[in-house]
Amino acid sequence: MPLEIELLKWYSLNKRDLPWRKNNDPYRVWVSEIILQQTRITQGKKYFNDFIDKFPTIYDLANSDEDKVLKSWQGLGYYNRAINLHKTSKIIVNDLGGKFPTTYDQLIKLKGIGDYTASAISSICFDKYNPVVDGNVLRFISRIYGVKIPIDSAQGKKKIKELANKLIQKTKTPGDFNQALMEFGALSCTPFPDCQLCIFNSKCLAFKKNKVDSIPVKTQKKKIRKRYFNYLVFKGNNGKTFINQRKEKDIWYKLYQFPLIEKDVLDDDILLSSDFSEYLKNNKLKISNTKHEIIRYKHVLSHQHLFIAFYLINLNTVVKDGYDISNLNDFTFPVPISNFISKYLI
């Protein structure tokens, strides 16, 4: 039986019952595809259901505040995804009369929609023949065909896309085929697969040549950047503290945080440094008593390791122009900060 037919048959029997598969509504498929980038299915399901509860239609999303959208994303990371979802929903509602574009070329012009998402939406919702290539597809196809070109190179991705394209063209259901490819990679052709049980082992070049451990080939090693965040958590005797919104195009863009002093190296106690005296001077703050507690966290992101120190500074004076500590949950903070707030402040 040809591979594409066997794969579709396998999919019809083994596909997971996931909330976004209830129908092919492009809004739901789009939201799910954006959530599932960089997110595991179990966590993704919860966020998807909550997101659809809060914003059941594209109109609800377009008409809501950005802060509310970010709040619903809290904990998922890669917050630009939420900002772009919101921006694009406004374009679809205001400029396209609420009608989702149906082709790859129209979809890819929208903010936050790249090759993968445009292929997924156009094939799943509008039966267009555009192959999707995510990490699962890269792994499965490169093993089946014994591709030795690194999959993290442009050439490798192009090769896998060509192979997937040849297969999808032979099917009658491009949307199902794409989902079947991804599902097989996710459930069977995993990083450490059980090839003896695999229905494709007689066709799979990597298996036949005993190369499953070395395919897919990757060249680049992830470069990890270490960053040292020192947060100043002032607690005024009026129950207020300072927070600000992150404005730089960096991690946690538009989320809230405490006043930050970032350094390239670990500091034993930032309050003894000239950076802290400068901070006080710049903000016209006078603090006589800097008795404080330091709470340290390590937070791991895909390309960055964050070493975070929270300096909990109790003041004998009022914090003017600050925010009520008891209301901090109204703001969207990155996960380590919101964990710190629940454990030490509220």
Catalytic residues: 33
Contacts with ligand SF4: how many residues (CB under 6 A)? 14
> Minimum Å distance from CB 199 to ligand SF4?
7
Q: CB of 101 within 8 A of CB of 118?
A: no
Candidates 35-43, 47-55, 192-200, 306-314; binding stretch for ligand SF4 (CB under 6 A): 192-200
Candidates 59-67, 199-207, 256-264, 291-299; binding stretch for ligand SF4 (CB under 6 A): 199-207
Total residues belonging to the chain: 346
186 contacts ligand SF4 (rule: CB under 6 A): no
Q: How far apart are CA 113 and CA 121, in angstroms?
A: 10
Identity (one letter) of the amino acid at 227?
A: R
82, 132, 189, 255: which one binds ligand SF4 (CB under 6 A): 189
Q: Positive or negative, the Cα torsion across 16, 20, 25, 31?
A: negative
Q: How far apart are CA 294 and CA 276, in angstroms?
A: 14
Candidates 62-70, 73-81, 187-195, 221-229; binding stretch for ligand SF4 (CB under 6 A): 187-195
207 contacts ligand SF4 (rule: CB under 6 A): yes
193 contacts ligand SF4 (rule: CB under 6 A): yes
Q: How far apart are CA 264 and CA 284, in angstroms?
A: 25
The contacts of residue 269 (CB under 8 Å, 6+ apart) are 294
167 contacts ligand SF4 (rule: CB under 6 A): no
Residue 9's Cβ-side half-sphere holds a number of Cα atoms within 13 Å equal to 8
Q: Which is nearer to ligand SF4, 110 or 160 (CB)?
A: 160
257 contacts ligand SF4 (rule: CB under 6 A): no
85, 125, 168, 204: which one binds ligand SF4 (CB under 6 A): 204
> Minimum Å distance from CB 343 to ligand SF4?
43
Listed in sequence order, the DSSP H helices in the chain are 3-14, 26-36, 41-54, 58-62, 66-73, 80-95, 104-107, 115-126, 135-144, 154-169, 174-187, 205-208, 274-282, 335-340
Torsions phi, psi of 36, nearest 5? -75, -10
Q: Which is nearer to ligand SF4, 144 or 147 (CB)?
A: 144
Q: How far apart are CA 234 and CA 241, in angstroms?
A: 5
The first and second tokens of residue 4, run together, are 């594409």
Q: How far apart are CA 175 and CA 168, in angstroms?
A: 9
> Minimum Å distance from CB 142 to ligand SF4?
9
> Minimum Å distance from CB 165 to ligand SF4?
19
Q: How far apart are CA 198 and CA 84, in angstroms?
A: 39
83, 108, 149, 195: which one binds ligand SF4 (CB under 6 A): 195
216 contacts ligand SF4 (rule: CB under 6 A): no
> Minimum Å distance from CB 152 to ligand SF4?
19
84, 201, 238, 304: which one binds ligand SF4 (CB under 6 A): 201
Q: CB of 144 within 8 A of CB of 200?
A: yes
48 contacts ligand SF4 (rule: CB under 6 A): no
143, 159, 240, 292: which one binds ligand SF4 (CB under 6 A): 143
Interacting residues toward ligand SF4 by CB under 6 A: 140, 143-144, 188-189, 193, 195, 198, 200-201, 204, 206-207, 212
